[in-house]
Amino acid sequence: MSTSDTRSPESDAVPTAQIPDPENVAGGPDSRPTNPAGACAVSAAPTPDAAAALDPSYDAIVVGGGPAGATTAAVLAQHGRRVLLLERERFPRYHIGESLMPYTWFTFERLGVLDWLKGSGSPLKHSVQFVSTNGKVSQPFYFFQTIEHECASTWQILRSDFDAMMLRNAAGKGAEIRQGVTVRDVLLENDRAVGVRATLAGGETATWRARVVVDATGRDTLLANRLGWKRRDPDLNKIAIFTYFTGARRDPGLDAGATTVAYIADKGWFWYIPLVDDTVSVGVVAEHDYLYRDTRDPEAIFRREAAECQWIREHLEPGAHRGPVRVTGEFSYRAAAAAGDGFCLVGDAYAFLDPVFSSGVFVALKGGELAADAIHAAFDRGEDVTAATFDDYARDVRYALDSFRRIVIAFYDQTFNFGEFIGAYPDLQPRLVDLLVGNVSRDLEPLFEALAEYSRRTVSSGAATTCRREPHAAQDPP
């Protein structure tokens, strides 16, 4: 593994995928932003005095321009609502979370961005494969063997390009986008959100008011922190240490874009995600005490773990490290509630779940879509937006998160073997696949009941914890 270059994969050293003209993203000339060269359109920010004179009647203010915020803003704008989206950074910007679930396809279709994805040069993700601790690779799990739909092939995305496209698409749909604006607080009157107070790029303050505020601040969790709602998941107390390589080994043919999950014996796992421009994203996920057992240097930790994982070591050996090595903690958490009067939380601002099955962008997109539809329906009924407005949204997102969490918990259970489980319950394989590709609208209770029964049986029989060393080649799911 060469370490001669430690620049970011999103620096000039590693070109990003081309972002086509937004006319080809949102479907016509009306979608063209004011700056087609790359960055999203930015309206002139008001001075403090001017802000007080602004029309306070935005239908919605969305705080945060990542996938959840951009989706919420785009769908509301499609409904004809007046939307202001405030984003602290200027896009494009770096972000982790590059692997998509197949069922993101349906939100992409609604937003009109499938053509961009198809033309982006992003590697096609047809499958996921698992690698045991001795380097044995499972038969890749091909989505198209179960899903007879175009969504069976999804993408491995460079988030700087993808997120910029999504924000530009929201602008093309009619949302007002302001970048370089840091929201400091949500204005509450009688426990109802009525607007936000922000700091502009020049240091001035500004206030905007709206009928509803959508917190899409991601892991900053603006409202969950302010309201004391954030709850860490004690059963998924993991951190990730991750970086990028160019020229690393890729599997041939259909497997060139596969996500690989490589186990660390009894400890955690590596991800290996091929990206555009011969770049791979690679990271290790495990508990804090394990990773930091003899050093706190992230690069030293990453190198130690990569050297001990045969498949990862062999795949990275011909590559050049493009760095930097990054760390993220507090891997799994959820807010105590998804909404209140005049506001809701979407995407990572509401919850984040361990990423082993790549559910994050799916939950962000679907949650943003559902929240936007709930807001629009309340406005159509002539109602104020209250916590009850989001009852269906909260129920559906909680169900998705709970469903994904159950399979994540099974993944970390040393007595659990996916191949053995499917062998014992072959009729449930379609439901397991539905969960893992994002089709959480199905009744999954039979699957969960069987998972609980299997767990009880393996624990009572004193099953050995060797399932990760010898995965079932044809049946390990993604």
Is 221 inside a domain boundary? yes
Which secondary-structure segment (H or E) carries 187? strand 182-189
Last residue of a domain, one of 328, 347, 369: 328
Last residue of a domain, one of 328, 343, 364: 328
Single-letter amino acid, residue 45: A
If asked whether residues 469 and 347 sit together in one domain, one would say no
Taking the chain, what is the end-to-end CA distance rounded to the nearest angstrom? 27
Domain range for 473 is: 415-478
Is 380 inside a domain boundary? yes
Give how many domains the chain has, as a whole number.
3
Is 339 inside a domain boundary? yes
If asked whether residues 245 and 304 sit together in one domain, one would say yes
The sign one gets for the Cα dihedral 285, 288, 289, 292 is positive
If asked whether residues 32 and 90 sit together in one domain, one would say yes
Query: How confident is the model over 306-332, as pLDDT tens digits?
Result: 999 999 999 999 999 998 999 998 679
Last residue of a domain, one of 328, 362, 385: 328
Print the SS3 string covering 234-248: HHHCEEEEEEEEECC
| Diameter of the chain measured on Cα atoms | 71
Q: For residue 137, what pLDDT is reported?
A: 86
If asked whether residues 148 and 209 sit together in one domain, one would say no
Whether 35 has a pLDDT exceeding 80, the answer reads no
If asked whether residues 219 and 290 sit together in one domain, one would say no
Closest to 315 measured CA to CA, from 2, 1, 97:
1
Angle at 397 between CA 395 and CA 402, to 5 degrees: 90
Beta bridge partners of 212: 60
Single-letter amino acid, residue 170: A
| pTM across the whole model | 0.86
CATH number for 99: 3.50.50.60
Q: List alpha helices for 177-318, DSSP H.
A: 222-227, 288-291, 298-308, 310-316
Whether 32 has a pLDDT exceeding 50, the answer reads no
Closest to 208 measured CA to CA, from 33, 74, 83:
83
Query: How confident is the model over 249-289, as pLDDT tens digits?
Result: 999 999 999 999 999 987 899 999 999 999 999 999 999 99
CATH number for 310: 3.30.9.100
> Mean pLDDT over residues 2-17, rounded?
36
Whether 24 has a pLDDT exceeding 70, the answer reads no
Is 210 inside a domain boundary? yes
Q: What is the DSSP secondary-structure string of 100-167?
A: PPGGGHHHHHHHT-HHHHHHS-PPEE-EEEEE-TTSPBPPPEEGGGT--SGGGSEEB--HHHHHHHHH
Is 437 inside a domain boundary? yes
Quote the CA–CA distance of 371 and 212 in Å, as a whole number: 11
Taking CA atoms, 447 is separated from 76, 361, 414, 437, in Å, by: 35, 24, 19, 15
- Helix, coil or strand: residue 418: helix
Is 184 inside a domain boundary? yes
Whether 52 has a pLDDT exceeding 50, the answer reads no
Q: For residue 1, what pLDDT is reported?
A: 52
Is 107 inside a domain boundary? yes
Query: How confident is the model over 142-180, as pLDDT tens digits?
Result: 899 889 999 999 999 999 999 999 999 999 999 999 999
Quote the CA–CA distance of 351 and 368 in Å, as a whole number: 13
If asked whether residues 293 and 440 sit together in one domain, one would say no
If asked whether residues 387 and 268 sit together in one domain, one would say no
Q: Say if CB 416 and CB 454 are below 8 A apart.
A: yes
If asked whether residues 322 and 268 sit together in one domain, one would say yes
Range of weakest confidence among 50-54, 131-135, 258-262: 50-54
Is 388 inside a domain boundary? yes
DSSP state of 2: B
Q: What is the DSSP secondary-structure string of 315-353?
A: HHTTSEE----EEE----EEES-SEETTEEE-GGGTEE-
Q: For residue 149, what pLDDT is reported?
A: 95
Q: How many CB atoms lie within 10 A of CB 205?
A: 12
If asked whether residues 340 and 423 sit together in one domain, one would say no
Residues 6+ apart with CB under 8 A from 448: 403, 406
Whether 470 has a pLDDT exceeding 60, the answer reads no
The sign one gets for the Cα dihedral 163, 165, 167, 170 is negative
If asked whether residues 99 and 199 sit together in one domain, one would say yes
If asked whether residues 324 and 338 sit together in one domain, one would say no
The encoded tokens of residue 400 equal 């998705």
Quote the CA–CA distance of 433 and 143 in Å, as a whole number: 8
If asked whether residues 307 and 344 sit together in one domain, one would say no
